[in-house]
Amino acid sequence: MKILVCIKQVPDAKDVRLDPKTNTMSREGVQSIMNPFDAHALEEAVQLKEKFGGSVTVISMGPPQAEETLLQAVACGADEAVLVSDRAFAGADTWATTYTLSMAIKTLGGFDLIICGKQAIDGDTAQVGPGLAQRLDIPYVTYVRKVNNVIDGKIIVERMMDDGYDEVEFQMPGLLTVVKEINEPRIASLKGKMKAKKMKATVLTASDIKADLKCLGLQGSTTQVVRVFSPEFKAERSMLTGTVDEQVGKLIEKLEGLL
């Protein structure tokens, strides 16, 4: 089974501060880490490889320094690392990101299963996994908390729901996004670290993936940031008094007034 894991390098949430003037994140002196949900995606891929054979490739769209995070994934059991990196990708929203990743994946070709984290802890959109599956025209299941089995090219997974779980089966190729409950990521092994030390990620540029420049980066993004601000907390509090019936009456009056 050929597995691909999408990984994002994100700022460590422990260190993040907002610039009080611009309200944007100040990245200076902030450590970069592997998006925590992606660590679970990677662990699941490595466990599937150990159980059913095959290989694990990790892919990231990001600046050159994202290679560090990809090599960390190699230390934790991935076989190959691909960095999709080009100035043209800068400023991409999830629309442009899924386009870029899908073009890179088409260039690499031939994956049975793609695994993503449920969401990235910086953007928190949870859109890239499903968006990517749409672009590749393959089935996907989000919020996967367990892979039950892989047989005859089919995969059977459990999707976490508020009131329990769904068991979903589909024919691969397909895509999963996973939640933290799925596993406990391993600590990088000694041999893995040595391998990562000697390895370099394969870099794919915009021309390598034959991308349409109009669809990339800021230019290819449909999201426009108009203003960044912290919402003000303006909730007013008032206390209703009297007997229960009186309080209920006053409450209904207030609610009706809002309509």
What residue ranges bind other proteins (CB under 8 A)? 186-194, 197
Question: Exposed, middle or buried by CB within 10 Å (0-12, 13-18, 19+), for 231?
Answer: exposed
**Single-letter residue type at 35:** N
Q: Which is nearer to other proteins, 46 or 157 (CB)?
A: 46
What are phi and psi for residue 11, nearest 5 degrees? -70, 140
Q: How far is the CB of 31 from other proteins (least distance, A)?
A: 15
Q: Which long-range contacts (CB under 8 A, 24 or more apart) does 232-241 make?
A: none
Q: Which is nearer to other proteins, 135 or 186 (CB)?
A: 186
Dihedral (Cα; 157, 39, 3, 177), 10-degree rounding: 40
d(CA 118, CA 236) in angstroms, rounded, equals 35
Helical spans, DSSP H, in 140-215: 190-198
Q: How far is the CB of 33 from other proteins (least distance, A)?
A: 14
Q: How far is the CB of 7 from other proteins (least distance, A)?
A: 19
Q: Which is nearer to other proteins, 14 or 214 (CB)?
A: 14
The token duo for 147 is 């892979």
Q: How far is the CB of 65 from other proteins (least distance, A)?
A: 20
Q: How far is the CB of 40 from other proteins (least distance, A)?
A: 15
Q: Which is nearer to other proteins, 72 or 119 (CB)?
A: 72
Q: Rounded to 5 degrees, what angle do the CA atoms 21, 94, 133 make?
A: 160
Q: Which is nearer to other proteins, 146 or 193 (CB)?
A: 193
